[in-house]
Chain A
């Protein structure tokens, strides 16, 4: 069986793809005519899918470009001729295993051909696939693994940028989970360390900050499975490359973390503290050697000899103090702002203080309290200036209201005086 597949694959690879590409576009396609009317859905559905929406059909490809056979005849035997007498390519039936890769690669690994359809598209998918866990297992005869069609679909293939495509950013996790969340299918597979491959990745990912950003905040740049594992060359990121994987997006954190003591100690880099699939939104509470802090497995709160615990406490205290001061300052500025004092400069300064707070939270990944303290001191200085302006605002408001009270008193005095004068004049003139 395997040699048949390999021979098939070789046949497909050796045939010049351009010889087939789009050849049937303007010609009658009896494949679709017959298959779409077949009662067996396994045979009819591909035709229907291909006919409705398929990126290949839209670019002029037909069934025969992948399956071979003669599309010009309505004679079943001639159409499905496997000898190669009827058509340029003998009928191949449904490719499976390596033949799928070969079928797709026949065009997708041909730079000259791809340039005519999608000049920007890469042509190394098949090569990458061969280096993936999927590809390696397929090479040794494991036909349960994913091939091109498992993720992209075989018929009704859509562009990656099409939101309905199974490999559109928001759909990738579900597509991967169609296999990886299936305990039966995953049974027997192991991680490089020999532990069984879990099937909780999707559930974990759905509880992560990345999933929230991707699906609830519509941030398509947020990572999904393929952003960390690779797509065609999908493998679990190696322990050593974990910080690099996270660092592709979280560059500054990686820069801070790399020279730190933890980088030398941690086996799994970022994952040690943040987890992998279930990356939770980071909070200041995480930075503690006591529950619910995440330093607990290694550090002990209250132990004066535990430098790490003391560092965590120092950094956490500084960050929380700045946070509290910013909040308090923001309330003060909002209050005087509501009362009519112009505070746009202070709003701006508070934004700068908030960015210092973010910087401090970033800096803590170097695990050096002195560096965090320096940033906290900068932030505190800004807050002090804002507070001073806020207090000036409060004093100004008090002054305005006092001024108003004095003015109203004076006006009232004049009004009463005029009223009395009017009365006097009216009475003198026998007025009205």
Chain B
């Protein structure tokens, strides 16, 4: 407390103290969904921390990347733990980010006045996918090499800008050491910089506007009625910390019992191994593109599929501006149906994609 008094004397922390004392979280049946954002943020912190530790040993070149990861998991003290936690945490992070996204979608928390919170959140979700895609290649193993070849090939199928995007991502015609350097730069510098700024903005919005009350619950309130509030400090934050501890326990168990396989070193001249598929969070998209016929209405199927996914992403970003009914505080079943269909599609195609040949 002396430190706070010392700081208060110099910086006048009365505003901050007031904010902490007054900040509350609405209490209702759906409040459990509030924890997902915090857990996702916590995992992002884990990623930054373990990522920095991995950086101490990782070497981003085609000739050394695989060996350096091998060195990390075999020679570096607790290197195996750091690498496994980083890999598992990445997957849990994407999973929780999707869960957070769907919970906000279903609760219509994107509605006015939180449109920009939603937009920043959607961009963060895309950034997380970008982290996953770029990080997958970094160990420079066979599976990642060929999956990146396929993945960047899909990016190359975007009409007009596709060939340029492909060159930009790969740093040439094919996946080589140049691609690895690019993905490394993207993974450890460009994406973290953008993500940090967006996370700060996202949190600022959340703190400034407070937690959204689900539309269905808000509609049941009588005029002037306010939901009971739980103090953010310490009641809510302690619950958040409790959830983080559960996440840590899960990560530790996964890292110890299901270590992330390193596989064999990438070899551009090796035959394409069987069962090449991207990370699970790209499986639904990958499998959809695979199922598309070669030509639809005279247009190449894959091109059309990539454009459709682009439009879907744009639609998701602009959902708060499209769902006018929710903005007015009215029920918007059409968007609920869209969310249900989206969830069913994502789960079904991920499972089908996983078991498909």
- Could you tell me which A residues sit within 8 Å of B by CB distance? 339-342, 344, 400-401, 403-404, 407-408, 411-412, 414-415, 418-419, 421-422, 425-426, 429, 431-432
Contact = CB atoms under 8 A, between A and B. Distances in A.
B29 to A, nearest CB: 11
The 10 closest A-B pairs by CB, nearest first: A340-B259, A404-B256, A342-B74, A432-B27, A418-B242, A411-B249, A422-B238, A415-B245, A342-B73, A400-B256
Contacts of A400: 80-81, 256
A429 B231 contact: yes
Interface in B228-266: 228, 230-231, 234-235, 238-239, 241-242, 245-246, 248-249, 252-253, 256-259, 262
B91 interface: no
B241 A425 contact: no
A340 B80 contact: yes
Nearest to B72: A342
Interface of A, helix, strand, loop or mixed by DSSP: helix
Interface string B251-294: 01100111100100000000000000000000000000000000
Interface of B: 27, 70, 73-74, 80-81, 84, 228, 230-231, 234-235, 238-239, 241-242, 245-246, 248-249, 252-253, 256-259, 262
A419 B245 CA distance: 11
A417 to B, nearest CB: 10
B235 A425 contact: yes
B88 to A, nearest CB: 12
Contacts of B252: 404, 407-408, 411
B230 A432 contact: yes
Contacts of A341: 74
B235 A342 contact: no
B256 A401 contact: yes
B193 to A, nearest CB: 32
A426 B80 CA distance: 41
Contacts of A418: 238, 241-242, 245
B235 A422 contact: yes
Contacts of B73: 342
A342 B242 contact: no
A404 B253 contact: yes
Contacts of B238: 418, 421-422, 425
Contacts of B84: 340
A429 B245 contact: no
A408 B255 CA distance: 13
A425 B234 CA distance: 8
Given A340-B80, A400-B81, A422-B242, 5 more contacts: A340-B259, A342-B70, A401-B256, A404-B253, A421-B234
A431 B27 CA distance: 10
Contacts of A419: 242
